[in-house]
A and B are shown apart, each in its own frame.
Chain A
Amino acid sequence: MTPDPSRAHPVITRGMVLTVLALAGVAAVMVLAVQYTPVEANQGLAQKIFYIHVPSAVVAIWVAVPMTGLASMLYLWLHDPRLDRFAAASAEVASVFCLVVLTTGPIWGKPIWGTWWTWDGRLTLTLFLFFLLLGYQTLRAAIREPLERGRFSAVLGIMGLVLIPFIHLSVYLWRGLHPKPVVLKPSEPSLPPAMLHTLLIGFGVFTVLYIGFVTLRYGIQLAQDLREAADAA
């Protein structure tokens, strides 16, 4: 049976709908952050970067990279091309979220810490993670043979996952400028309700954005793989 590239079309459409909805959600989070949340007394309006920076970081570090690592591990075990395609899509999206974290962080840091960048454990490890994700994509672009590409990139995907506990614990292990978590911690979140609600909405919206991006990216790759298979048949 000849592979049919149109099988990817429903996946692409789902990804497009989710992405557009999530982008509207991101705009709504920005409006909520500006209009609804109080101005923090010590940090001023710069503190509102929190509502973009933190959900982007949480989705990158607690959703996108772990999903990439998990799919990579399963790929090494099961050799299912769908897992490799998913891991590749998730890694690309993780690097976009990481880029937002690494650009909004210094813009927040400058007025609060007095510097754009410091070699603090959290910042440095997040930068390493970003480089690792770029390396992952460079590796995939460099290898043409699908099985070899899947195997080698899966190893890098798992290495990204290994970095996550160090990134999370870095604020406890090494003294630095980056603050400790205010929500993802064993005790109650230490935020006023308006700030907490906006942040939680942000977590939801950015997770949907991740799902939309990954679905769309997966669908594009699926269409390309099916077309190549159809051409080869």
Chain B
Amino acid sequence: MPPDNGQYMVAAYIVAGVIYLGYSVSLLVRGSRARSR
């Protein structure tokens, strides 16, 4: 029986998602501003 540790997987996926998504949003906003100037 595998150990019950799914919460660590969920936490890691959320952390990775927040970092990648946060950086993407930052770049997309900066990119949109650079294009509109």
**Which residues does chain A contribute within 8 Å of B24, judged by CB atoms?**
19-20, 23, 213
Chain A hits for B6, CB < 8 A: 44-46
Interface string of A42-54 (1 = CB under 8 A from B): 1111101100110
CA distance A39 to B6 in the complex (A): 10
Interface string of B23-37 (1 = CB under 8 A from A): 110011011001101
Give per-residue flags for A189-233: 1 if the beta carbon is below 8 A from chain B beta carbons, else 0.
000000000000000000001000100110110011001000000
Q: Are A49 and B12 in contact (CB under 8 A)?
A: yes
Q: Which residues of A contact B35 (CB under 8 A)?
A: 9, 12-13, 223
Contact B5 A111 (CB under 8 A): yes
Binds B, one of A64-72, A98-106, A124-132, A149-157: A98-106
- Cβ–Cβ contact A217 & B27, under 8 A: yes
Residue numbers in B under 8 Å from A19 (CB-CB): 24, 27-28
Say whether A96 contacts B19, CB under 8 Å: yes
Point out the residues of chain A lying under 8 angstroms from B19, CB to CB: 96, 99-100, 103
Q: Which residues of B are found within 8 Å of A40, using beta-carbon distances? A: 2
Secondary structure type dominating chain A contacts: helix
Quote the shortest CB–CB distance from A141 to chain B (angstroms): 15
Size band of the A side of the interface? 35 or more
Asked if B20 and A209 make an inter-chain contact with CB atoms under 8 angstroms apart, the answer reads: yes
**Residues on the B chain within 8 Å of A8, using CB:** 34
The residues of B that contact A39 with a CB separation of less than 8 Å are 2
Is residue A182 contacting chain B, with contact meaning CB distance below 8 A?
no
B2 with A103: CB separation less than 8 A = no
Sampled A-B contacts (11; CB under 8 Å): A12-B31, A23-B21, A23-B24, A34-B9, A52-B13, A52-B16, A96-B19, A96-B20, A209-B20, A223-B34, A227-B37
- Known contacts A45-B2, A96-B23, A220-B30; 4 further A-B pairs (Cβ under 8 A): A12-B34, A49-B13, A108-B12, A223-B35
